[in-house]
Chain A
Amino acid sequence: MIDIPEDEVTAPWWDATRQRRLTVQRCARCELAQLPPRVLCTGCGSTASRLETVDGRGVVDSYTVIHRAPDPATEVPYTVARVRLIEGPILLTALVGIPEPRCDLPVTLAWRVLPDGRALPVFTTEE
């Protein structure tokens, strides 16, 4: 596993993952939700924002099943996807436990825990 960096803009987002909370950055001025967290709102340029916890429901915009990993130690195949949260932002993520993924499939949040206590949001189908 690679060592995932963070910085002063993204650290609060990563800290929330330690409590298994997925957050989106909500602009205090125009209310746009965006990911990943940025210095500026891409809607209005405001620097005032808050992190808002979401329940992690979305749909698969698209996906790809990868059969040759960049890191030879990674087990293949695995599925990378773009998931569109109902709040609007799109996440690059992984799909887990979905034998036959498809575009527009509704999915829900799961977590892949990292050795340092942070966690990566991944998505699976609702039970």
Chain B
Amino acid sequence: MSVAIVGAAECDLGHTGLSTQQLLAQAVKRALDDAGLRVCDVDGIATTGHGRFPATQLADQLGLCPSWTDSTAAGGAVFEMYVARAAQAIEAGQCSVAVIAFASNQRSARSRSIGGVYDAATPEAQFEQPYQPLWPLSYYAMTAQRYLHTYRLDRADLARVAVAAREHALRNPAAFRHAAGPLTVDDVLAAPMISSPLGALDCCLVTDGGGAIVLTSLDRARHLAKTPVRVLGYGESVTHAAMATPDDLLSTGAAASGARAFARAAVRPEEIDVIQLYDSFTVSVPLGLEQLGFCPPGTGVHWAGVPVNTTGGGLSYCHPGQLGVLLLVEAVRQLRGECGARQVPGAATALVHGTGGIASSHATVILGVR
């Protein structure tokens, strides 16, 4: 493939008191500054999660008339999907510089609802909402329950995922829990139970935040300031919308999504140096590693391979409702060697895996600098 990521940035994170529009503009401007490009160079925009016509509205805010836009809505995995679509649009000549952006002020605005938002026109409003599951939490909780039951594990095994995330966050000054000190398994087990077996510290943060990445052709990328991060492969899989639909909670779309990305990139799991894997809840990490082919089923809780979620992830770094774009930002920084205390030495190939909804949508991107 002949497309590269040439810019990457976070907007302000945490509890900002800022509007979503302000955070979005920050993310785009900082990513373009990082790339050494100007706003007027952008002719492709992909964004979602704000307003009725997200890409159209962001184009208006930036004063642009793009020749390519995408506002596909698929939850937090969509930014990895946007990488595939942007790469295709650039290769097809529909645009030359594409920006993928997301921001939310959900913590400042107190806009997150633990029950989620059910659209009355969907079957879920009839057959799911009446039972008052927490959305998406209760779906992941049922997945975790089935996971622990099937592999004869217990809550402490999942708690170690949160402990590991905190260890990363302690090395990342931008992390929401950077100064919170280490976490222990006992801390996680003692936190209030929300939707068993997941307690408060098994769940991702609720913060403001977001980010942006900039893509262009590899030819153009070679003339820009930073090391081009090549898009080596991508894949996706969308499997369900309702909690009752999947036949097997432990077989997720990550398997097909990951296999498609590995095949397209002609890369094997053992060639990946660093993994950014959407950790909405503790169970997402071991199950994701297994489904992506990094380790056998039931062993993800004992993962001791390459570093995962070097920012501290959704559990301890930032979770603005859709984490996908920030997974890409961190992968780019790791591959450029910009990560300071949390840098994975010599990282040359990264896997980014986004998940959206209730494990509904999966998308995988493989990036490299060799």
Contacts and interface: CB of A to CB of B under 8 A. Distances in A.
Contacts, number: 109
Contact of A92 (B146, B194, B243): B243
Chain A interface size, as a band, is: 35 or more
Contact of A67 (B115, B195, B244): B195
Interface string A49-72: 000000000000111111111110
B243 A82 contact: yes
A15 interface: no
A80 interface: yes
B127 A36 contact: yes
> At the interface, is chain A mostly helix, strand, loop or mixed?
loop
A46 interface: no
Nearest to A67: B193
Contacts of A62: 142-143, 145-146, 149, 249
A91 interface: yes
Contact of B126 (A10, A82, A102): A10
B63 interface: no
B229 to A, nearest CB: 39
A94 B149 contact: no
Contacts of A90: 244-245, 247
Interface in B133-153: 133-135, 138, 141-143, 145-146, 149-150
Interface of B: 113-116, 120, 123, 125-135, 138, 141-143, 145-146, 149-150, 192-198, 242-245, 247, 249
17 contacts: A2-B129, A4-B129, A5-B125, A35-B244, A36-B242, A62-B149, A62-B249, A63-B145, A66-B132, A67-B192, A67-B195, A78-B132, A80-B133, A82-B243, A91-B244, A92-B244, A93-B131
Given A68-B195, A80-B142, 13 more contacts: A2-B129, A5-B120, A64-B138, A65-B195, A66-B196, A69-B115, A70-B114, A70-B135, A89-B244, A90-B244, A90-B245, A91-B127, A103-B145
